[in-house]
A and B are shown apart, each in its own frame.
Chain A
Amino acid sequence: NAGVTQTPKFRILKIGQSMTLQCTQDMNHNYMYWYRQDPGMGLKLIYYSVGAGITDKGEVPNGYNVSRSTTEDFPLRLELAAPSQTSVYFCASSRRQGPSNQPQHFGDGTRLSIL
């Protein structure tokens, strides 16, 4: 079982460059999420999606964009990289079971440095 797969694992960008962080899941989960994790700050939600074609902002969406064209994939786009976006990025997914909350399953992260 692959679960949630994130690529790349590490990346160094220059200020102003753009890139896409890839995330794919093979569990047929409806819900997908992007978080960033900064030291001592826990996980902050960037964007989430409740199904293909539907996305919504989380707590810290500025500087990021997402799309959800398929159930499996949920890429995160950085258009103009800034040093403040240096972080570890995690993608997660969960199934939908009526109104009942379900566990989120996480990938192993992408470590991004912007210099």
Chain B
Amino acid sequence: GENVEQHPSTLSVQEGDSAVIKCTYSDSASNYFPWYKQELGKGPQLIIDIRSNVGEKKDQRIAVTLNKTAKHFSLHITETQPEDSAVYFCAASIKDTGNQFYFGTGTSLTVIP
């Protein structure tokens, strides 16, 4: 099956700085890559996703990049705010597999005011 690795496991940034979280995947058949944000005591919430036919996608302060050749994708958060503090998960999914997701192990982001 697919194996997704995520780094770093913890990340602290000053408010206003940028944060970058990186993931790699093993199966070249993966074609959908969502990112989730999980706040304490809550379930994961989708914040952005990217499909394999696109190299970059942006939504306000959040962007995701995908390098299919190297099998890695990254989440970029600019102008970080304290409310960005949470655990972030990347995932990969292969077409025609019942929409199964393979998750990374998560990154705990702390934004220091």
Contact = CB atoms under 8 A, between A and B. Distances in A.
Interface of A: 4, 31, 33, 40-45, 48, 50, 56, 58-59, 90, 92, 94, 96, 99-109
Nearest to A51: B98
Contacts, number: 64
Contact of B105 (A40, A94, A100): A40
Interface of B: 1, 6, 9, 31-32, 34, 36, 41-46, 49, 51, 89, 93-96, 98-101, 103-106
Given A42-B103, A42-B105, A31 B43 contact: no
A107 B105 contact: no
Given A42-B89, A42-B105, A101 B44 contact: no
A106 B44 contact: yes
A26 B58 CA distance: 30
A42 B106 contact: yes
A42 B98 contact: no
B34 to A, nearest CB: 6
Given A90-B43, A106-B44, A108-B43, A40 B99 contact: no
